[in-house]
């Protein structure tokens, strides 16, 4: 009986398609008659179609390799799959086709990750089903497509590629990408994990309510102070202290983090502003970890900090108004919350201003994570 045999175990009987041996001979003479990436051969009246991964897809063999890609490529698409998963194999040609069309060096990178072999990566990014496709923009997880939904996958990736093309010449911040702004480069081997903050749990003591709420500090958008012309600073998307220069910020996380560094953005005073009312940039910051609530100012002064840092004048980037604050990494493992105590500013004023806060490190498992589910097949089927 004539049949098409695909190397991954799928068999299509040719009688349903009225395919003759002459047709098979025609296909066997030229691979161009069948969509790549496939190798066509005839063996005992069977049409053997072998699917081979395209060179446009990077196979991930370690978390370190994946971390490097997240840092080097603006957009990364990860296909989490399993060898036993039939839906994974069914959608593989669609994914490979998108990779061939849309891959761009250091801009859009397509990867494949075997979830059974790279269990740490699957757990880190909350993969609960195969296949699962995850989109990362500038190192941050932004979208997920669960299951072999080729239409949804195509829509998401095509839209992403279009937006990336439009933004190629745009004037963004130092790390501007896909709507996400970073004021400094991210240390090699780490990613921006600011999206793991829990916005509902944020608290900020001594905040002047004429300015932004705590959540503006973690907005992915470029600070309005970087806008040119009269519109600069029209939207008050920053925070300022109220009665004195101190601020107490409580930041809970949705995942358990390893925090490598912080990026603090604050814009300096201008000559036109009155000195008495001019807010300062932060100078001294004390950090506390794994607190269940915000600390009071007196309470914080009585508790030893995990680390106290001092930002010097030369640490501030002149273009982005951002200082990179490295932390003692060994002291910031398994972090579920941070308290940032802004102790003082870089001058003699009575106000402190902070525009953005970015958290750099590694994101662990979600603090409430369900059991791994498998879509479509059980192992061995």
Q: Provide DSSP, 162-174.
A: HHHHHTTT----T
Evaluate if residue 338 carries a pLDDT over 90: yes
b/e burial code for range 231-264 (CB count within 10 A of at least 16 → b): eebeeebbbbbbeebbbbbbbbbbbbbbbbbbbb
Residues 76 and 25 both lie in one domain: no
- The reported pLDDT for the residue numbered 185 is 85
Is 349 part of a structural domain of the chain? yes
- Percent share of the chain, pLDDT over 90: 51
Contact (CB, 8 A) for 202 and 252: yes
- Tens digit of each residue's pLDDT (9 = 90 or more) over 176-191: 433 468 898 888 778 8
pLDDT at residue 176 in the model? 44
Residue 365 has pLDDT above 80, yes or no: no
Residue 255 in 3-state DSSP?
strand
323 pLDDT tier (thresholds 50, 70, 90): very high
pLDDT category of residue 272 using cuts at 50, 70 and 90: low
Lowest mean pLDDT among 244-253, 261-270, 294-303: 261-270
Domain containing residue 106: CATH number: 3.40.30.10
Looking at the structure, tell me whether residues 159 and 199 fall in a common domain: no
Looking at residue 234, which CATH number applies to its domain?
2.60.120.470
β 247-265/322-326 pair status: antiparallel
pLDDT digits (tens, 9 = 90+) for 135-171: 998 888 888 999 999 899 988 888 887 766 655 444 3
For position 165, what pLDDT does the model report?
63
Q: Can you give the pLDDT at residue 380? A: 45
Active site residue 5: no
Q: Is 37:52 a contact under the CB 8 Å cutoff?
A: yes
Q: How confident is the model at residue 7 (pLDDT cuts 50, 70, 90)?
A: very low
3-state secondary structure of 100: helix
Q: What is the mean pLDDT of residues 243-261?
A: 95
Each residue of 68-123: pLDDT tens digit?
888 888 899 999 999 999 999 999 999 998 988 888 887 899 999 999 999 999 99
How far is 283 from 247, CA to CA, in rounded Å? 12
Tell me which of 140 and 133 has the higher pLDDT.
133
pLDDT at 226 over 80: yes
Most confident of 52-66, 180-194, 287-301: 287-301
Mean pLDDT across 283-300: 96
What is the structure's pLDDT at 274?
54
> Which one of 4, 47, 85, 91 is the catalytic residue?
85
Nearest to 163 by CA among 181, 177, 144, 183: 177
Judgement on whether residues 150 and 229 belong to the same structural domain of the protein: no
Give 185-205 as a DSSP string. Answer: PPPTT-EE-GGGB-GGG-EEE
- How many structural domains is the chain composed of? 3
Note if the bond before 19 is cis, omega within 30 degrees: no
Query: Mean pLDDT in the chain?
Result: 80
Helix, strand, coil % in the chain, rounded to nearest 5: 25, 35, 40
- Reply yes or no on whether the pLDDT at 17 is more than 50: no
Confidence check: pLDDT of 29 > 90 = no
> Average pLDDT, stretch 186-210?
91
CA 298 vs CA 243, 248, 284, 304, 354: distances in Å: 15, 11, 16, 12, 22
- 39 and 86 together in one domain: no
356 within domain boundaries:
yes
348 and 219 within one domain: yes
| The pLDDT value given to residue 158 | 85
Show the beta-strand stretches assigned E in the chain: 3-6, 11-13, 38-43, 46-51, 57-59, 75-81, 108-114, 132-137, 140-146, 191-192, 203-205, 239-240, 247-265, 282-289, 307-310, 322-326, 335-345, 353-354, 356-366
The confidence score (pLDDT) of residue 71 equals 83
Confidence of residue 28 (pLDDT cuts 50, 70, 90): very low
**Which of 51, 72, 91 lies at the terminal end of a domain, its last residue?**
51
The separation between CA 343 and the C-alpha centre of its own chain, rounded to angstroms, equals 31
Q: Is residue 312 part of a domain?
A: yes
- 261: containing domain: 191-365
Within-domain flag for 309: yes
The residue with greater pLDDT, 39 or 181, is 181
Please report the pLDDT score of residue 39 as a whole number. 44
For residues 329 and 353, membership in a common domain is answered with: yes
User: Distance (Å, rounded) from C-alpha 357 to C-alpha 69?
Assistant: 24
Please pick, among 4, 40, 49, 88, the residue that the annotation labels catalytic: 88
Kindly state whether residue 381 falls inside one of the protein's structural domains.
no
What is the pairing mode between strands 75-81 and 108-114?
parallel
Same-domain status, 124 and 255 = no
Does residue 142 or residue 27 have the better pLDDT? 142
Asked if 350 and 236 sit in the same domain, the reply is yes
Q: How far apart are CA 257 and CA 274, in angstroms?
A: 41
Flag whether pLDDT at 25 surpasses 70. no
What mean pLDDT is predicted for residues 39-59?
55
Instruction: Specify the DSSP class assigned to residue 315.
Output: G
Give yes or no for residue 237 having a pLDDT over 60: yes
What is the distance between the alpha carbons of residues 222 and 237, in angstroms, rounded to a whole number? 10
Lowest mean pLDDT among 257-261, 279-283, 331-335, 365-369: 365-369
Give the three-state DSSP class for 87.
Answer: helix
Say if residue 197 is in the same domain as residue 336. Answer: yes
The verdict on residue 177 lying in a domain is no
**pLDDT higher than threshold 50 for residue 203:** yes
Distance CA 263, CA 240 (A): 17
Q: Indicate if 234 and 353 belong to the same structural domain.
A: yes
Radius of gyration of the chain (CA): 26
Q: Same structural domain for residues 345 and 216?
A: yes
Evaluate if residue 351 carries a pLDDT over 80. yes
Residue 109 lies in a domain: yes
Query: Where a domain ends, among 128, 150, 166?
Result: 166
Average pLDDT on 182-207 reads 90
Do residues 161 and 196 share a domain? no
Neighbours of 100 (CB within 10 A): 15
Q: Is residue 33 part of a domain?
A: yes
Task: Specify whether the CB–CB gap between 333 and 307 falls below 8 A.
Answer: no
């Amino acid at each position: 009986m004539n049949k098409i045999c695909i190397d991954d175990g799928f068999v299509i009987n040719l009688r349903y398609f009225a395919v003759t041996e002459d047709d098979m001979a025609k296909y066997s003479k030229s691979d161009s008659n069948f969509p790549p990436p496939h190798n066509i051969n005839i063996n005992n009246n069977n049409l053997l179609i072998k699917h081979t991964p395209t060179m446009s897809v990077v196979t991930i063999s370690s978390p370190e390799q994946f971390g490097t890609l997240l840092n080097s490529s603006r957009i990364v698409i990860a296909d989490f799959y399993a060898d036993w998963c039939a839906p994974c194999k069914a959608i593989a040609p669609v994914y490979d086709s998108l990779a061939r069309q849309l891959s761009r060096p250091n801009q859009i990178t397509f990867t494949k990750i075997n979830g059974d072999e790279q269990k740490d990566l699957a757990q880190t990014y909350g993969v609960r089903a195969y296949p699962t496709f995850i989109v990362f923009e500038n190192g941050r997880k932004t979208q997920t497509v669960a299951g072999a939904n080729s239409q949804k996958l195509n829509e998401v990736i095509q839209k992403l590629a279009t937006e990336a093309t439009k933004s190629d010449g745009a004037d963004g911040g130092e790390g501007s990408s896909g709507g996400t702004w970073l004021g400094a480069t991210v240390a090699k081997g780490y990613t921006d994990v600011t999206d793991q903050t829990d916005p509902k749990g944020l608290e900020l003591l001594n905040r002047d309510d004429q300015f932004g709420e705590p959540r503006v500090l973690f907005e992915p958008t470029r600070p309005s102070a970087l806008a040119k012309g009269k519109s600069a600073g029209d939207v008050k998307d920053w925070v300022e202290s109220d009665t004195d220069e101190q601020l107490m910020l409580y930041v809970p996380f949705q995942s358990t983090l390893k925090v490598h560094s912080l990026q603090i953005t604050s814009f300096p005073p201008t000559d036109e502003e009155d000195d008495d009312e001019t807010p300062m940039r932060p100078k001294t910051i004390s950090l506390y970890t794994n607190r269940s609530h915000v600390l009071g100012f007196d309470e914080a002064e009585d508790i030893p900090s995990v680390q106290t840092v001092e930002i010097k004048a030369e640490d501030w980037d002149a273009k982005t108004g951002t200082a990179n604050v490295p932390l003692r990494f060994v002291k910031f493992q398994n972090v579920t919350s941070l308290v940032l105590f802004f102790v003082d500013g870089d001058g003699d004023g009575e106000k402190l201003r902070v525009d953005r806060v970015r958290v750099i490190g590694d994101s662990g498992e979600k603090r409430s994570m369900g059991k791994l589910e498998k879509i479509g097949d059980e192992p061995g089927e």
